[in-house]
A and B are shown apart, each in its own frame.
Chain A
Amino acid sequence: MNNGQEAISVENLYKRFGENEVLRGVDLSAGKGEVISVLGSSGSGKSTLLRCINFLEIPDSGIIRVAGEEVLMKTNRRGGTLPADMRQVERIRARLAMVFQQFNLWSHMTILANVMEAPLHVLKLEKKEVRDRAMHYLDKVGIADKHNAYPVHLSGGQQQRAAIARALAMEPEVILFDEPTSALDPELVGEVLQVMRNLAFEGRTMIVVTHEMGFAREVSSRIIFLDQGLIIEDGSPQEVFEAPKSDRFKTFVSAMM
């Protein structure tokens, strides 16, 4: 599905937490329309990679480009890195929506208000247009009837679908999913995966950190396997699942299945 245009590129990304080197030189580029599943055992750095892309974690070094625009970094007095211009980061974040493991809906707002919030106040769009857009996406994820409810009144699966609608309402270039089904009861996982499957088939660019092997294999256009802060498998689902290059991936898959 890659039509040649680059949505995100990551070059030589390093990130450490104290003594712990979580990412040790990761390169990744995502073309428009690609659905990339990022696999890896816990501690492999896959969530950190995702969180570095929208600067929820600040990488120690490396270059991140979103739609060709490089995020400028500077060094502070103590030698740490930080974004040179927070406004640039905010602008870029508005083009990359994120769906979290714990949904993270704003609990004091109704579902509709959650979905309308960022388009209204970050993108500064017209209220009427935003409302229509929000209802459209809530309908798409199948919870339009719950638009007046508060997050606490919904099931986990419904909350995650609301969070996906919230991400979609920004009409982002890329949607980042950080283990979107890991906090759900097993019987609620299906409804969220179904929504994500539909998005993938529409040709949206998605990077999905997940443990759902079935989803990764069936839906993604590319699989990335991270181990100890390095990408050790990168290819189409057939290539990676049928002819993995590393023994590490074989053990990982057999442990998961």
Chain B
Amino acid sequence: MDFAIIASNIDIYLEGLKNTLILVSISLIFGLVMAIPLAVLRTSGNLYVQAPIRAFVYFFRGTPLLVQMFLVYYGFGQFEAMRESVLWPLFREAYFCALFTFALNTCAYTTEIIRGSIVATPHGEIEAARAAGMSTFLMLRRIVLPSAFRRALPAYSNEIIFMLHGSSLASVITIIDITGAARIVNSRYYSPWEAFLTAAVFYMAITFTIVFFVRKLEKLWQRHLMPLEQLDTKIEAPSI
């Protein structure tokens, strides 16, 4: 094993790291911002509002991310109308296609996560909000969503990590993310072990950074769920 290869090609990895971080953070932000109104509408009673959202979520949760990305990157270009539309300069670019697919994919999963935690709002807290004279919008903004976000946090932190790991698929459509960088280094030196182990270390470092910050946020946001004396739950195995 020769890790000197990595040291001399570290700039490729740093370029990859930059691309991974941009791809993942932009798609997470767009996905989350779109998921909040979608989740609220999804819980509304109206079937005509619900149906398209359900269809969207079913499609993106029911198919693999790679297939979705191929459909967008290779598939869209097959249609004359798309090639002549004003959007074509965007969809011609692999980078935009990856961003587009990732954002919609994480949006679908996040919609379900938030919907689940909205539905789990204790009924009495909603009644108390209504009885205090809150409008539906005020109640969503002040009571339902803040409490739903807190419940959604553990599941959403998983979604962030899945998105990070899923983003490695972008390397398949020519994007130089962390995995793409590893593929370049591997093909240059034919040393897959060093190349991909380095990629793995990068992903692990990002994952643990995310976990660290989510833990901090949990401590801050979930104080209302924790017992006063000790802030860590320990589950002991039953003694036999």
Using a CB–CB cutoff of 8 Å, the interface residues on chain A facing chain B are 54, 56, 86-87, 90-98, 100, 102-109, 117-118, 121-122, 150-153, 163, 166, 170
Known: A105-B128, A106-B128. A121 touches B138 (CB 8 A): yes
Q: Which of B131, B142, B221 contacts A117 (CB 8 A)?
A: B142
Residue numbers in A under 8 Å from B142 (CB-CB):
117, 121
A110 to B43, CA, bound (A): 27
The answer to whether A100 touches B224 (Cβ under 8 A) is: no
Q: List 27 A-B contacts (CB under 8 A).
A: A56-B131, A92-B133, A93-B131, A93-B132, A94-B132, A97-B131, A98-B131, A100-B124, A100-B127, A102-B124, A103-B124, A104-B125, A104-B128, A105-B125, A106-B129, A106-B147, A107-B147, A108-B224, A117-B142, A118-B132, A121-B134, A122-B138, A152-B224, A152-B225, A153-B228, A166-B132, A170-B133
Q: A100-B128, A104-B125, A108-B150 are in contact. Are A122 and B133 (CB under 8 A)?
A: yes
Q: Which residues of B contact A96 (CB under 8 A)?
A: 131
B89 on the interface (CB 8 Å rule)?
Answer: no
A122 touches B131 (CB 8 A): no
Interface of B is mostly: helix
Given A102-B124, A150-B224, A151-B224, A97–B146 Cβ distance below 8 Å? no
Q: How far is the CB of B48 from chain A (nearest CB, A)?
A: 16
**A56, A100, A118: residue with the most chain B Cβ atoms closer than 10 Å:** A118
Q: Looking across the interface, which residue of chain A has its beta carbon closest to that of B129?
A: A106
Closest to B135 in A: A90
CB of B134 within 8 A of CB of A90, answer yes
Shortest CB–CB separation between residue A179 and chain B, in angstroms? Answer: 13
A104 and B134 form a contact (CB under 8 A)? no
Residues of B within 8 A of A (CB): 122, 124-125, 127-135, 138, 142-143, 146-147, 150, 221, 223-225, 228
Whether the pair B135, A56 counts as a contact (CB closer than 8 A) is: no
Q: Report the minimum CB–CB distance from B64 to chain A (whole Å).
A: 36
Residues from chain A with a CB closer than 8 A to the CB of B124 are 100, 102-104
Task: Determine the chain A residues whose CB is within 8 A of the CB of B134 once the complex forms.
Answer: 90, 118, 121-122
By beta carbon, the residue of chain B nearest A152 is B224
Nearest B residue to A114, CB-CB: B128
In the complex, which of the residues B142, B147, B221 has the most CB atoms of chain A within 10 Å of its own CB atom? B142
Interface centre among B122, B125, B223, B225 (most CB of A within 10 A): B125
In the complex, residue of chain A having the shortest beta-carbon distance to the beta carbon of B138: A121
Complex-state Cα separation, A108 to B221, whole angstroms:
8
Knowing A104-B124, A105-B128, A108-B147, the reply to whether A91 touches B133 (Cβ < 8 A) is yes
CA distance A107 to B127 in the complex (A): 13
Residues of A within 8 A of B223 (CB): 150
Residues of A close to B143: CB separation below 8 A = 106
CA distance A104 to B123 in the complex (A): 9
A107 (CB) vs chain B CBs: closest residue? B224
Measured CB to CB, the closest approach of chain A to B45, in angstroms, equals: 13
